[in-house]
Structure formats: structure tokens, C-alpha cells
């Protein structure tokens, strides 16, 4: 069975290290990282991930803008996306959910183990 592919698009180096390390140690997922939305879109096109972990607040191109552009691409609606953010205001949550995310997780409230469990649930793997 081929390894499932995870695109982690996040600008915070500490969070990237924490999530990428946990994913590599606790699963057989192949993980590739991008540090902003524009780089993330290029990664998605070349890597074709099974799931995308997308930070919403990044420099150069926000996660919201990247997700909006992704959904406009041919087959852009096929991607499962977990929105990662620390924003909890109702307007932001509503806007992001309109972009067909599989889940919306507040980073400060998620351990790497919880995130991995959520990824496995969304992808239907153990």
C-alpha cells in the first residue's frame, strides 16, 4: 500500500517541526512542507496530497486566499483540507467553512496526536 501524502502549509517553524515530526514518527504518511500559501499551491500541484493541513494566517498569501484559489483550480474541490488557525471568531469560521474544509482546528487546542487522529478519521485509515 502506498504511503498517504500530507501537505503541511504553515509559516511557523516550530509548528511545522512539531507536526511533521509527529506525522513521520507515528504514521507512515509522506509529509511535504510549504511555508506560505503561494508555495503551498505549487506543492499541491506537484505533490497531489491526500490531505492538506493549511494554516489560515501566513505572510505573502494567506491560507484563506490559497484555499480560495485551490477551489477554483480544475479538480481543486477533490482535496481534503484541515484548516489550522488560532482564530475562533464566528465570521472567520463561517468564511473558512464555506470553502469546503474537512475540518477546522484551533492549533492552540490540538495536540499532534489529536491532529493525527483527525487526519486518520477524515482519510478513513487506522
Condensed to tens digits (0 to 9), the pLDDT of residues 48-89 reads 999 999 999 998 899 999 999 999 999 999 999 999 998 888
123: confidence class by pLDDT, cuts 50, 70, 90? very high
DSSP structural state of residue 98: T
- Report the predicted TM-score, pTM, of the whole model to 2 decimal places: 0.94
Task: Say which DSSP state 44 is in.
Answer: H
For 14-52, how does the pLDDT look when each residue is reduced to its tens digit (9 = 90+)? Answer: 999 999 999 988 888 999 999 999 999 999 999 999 999
Bridge partners (DSSP) of residue 81 are: 52
Residue 54 makes CB contacts below 8 A (sequence gap 6+) with 9, 10, 40, 63, 66, 67, 81, 82, 83, 84
Amino acid at each position: 500500500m502506498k504511503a498517504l501524502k500530507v501537505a503541511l502549509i504553515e509559516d511557523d517553524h516550530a509548528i511545522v517541526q512539531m507536526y511533521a515530526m509527529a506525522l513521520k514518527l507515528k504514521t507512515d504518511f509522506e509529509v511535504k512542507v510549504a511555508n506560505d500559501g503561494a508555495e503551498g499551491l505549487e506543492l499541491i500541484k506537484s505533490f497531489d496530497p491526500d490531505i492538506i493541513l493549511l494554516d489560515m494566517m501566513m505572510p505573502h498569501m494567506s491560507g484563506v486566499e490559497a484555499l480560495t484559489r485551490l477551489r477554483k483550480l480544475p479538480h481543486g474541490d477533490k482535496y481534503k483540507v484541515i484548516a489550522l488557525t488560532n482564530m475562533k471568531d464566528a465570521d472567520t469560521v463561517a468564511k473558512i467553512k464555506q470553502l469546503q474544509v474537512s475540518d477546522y482546528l484551533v492549533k492552540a487546542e490540538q495536540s499532534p496526536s489529536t491532529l493525527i487522529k483527525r487526519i486518520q478519521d477524515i482519510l478513513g485509515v487506522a
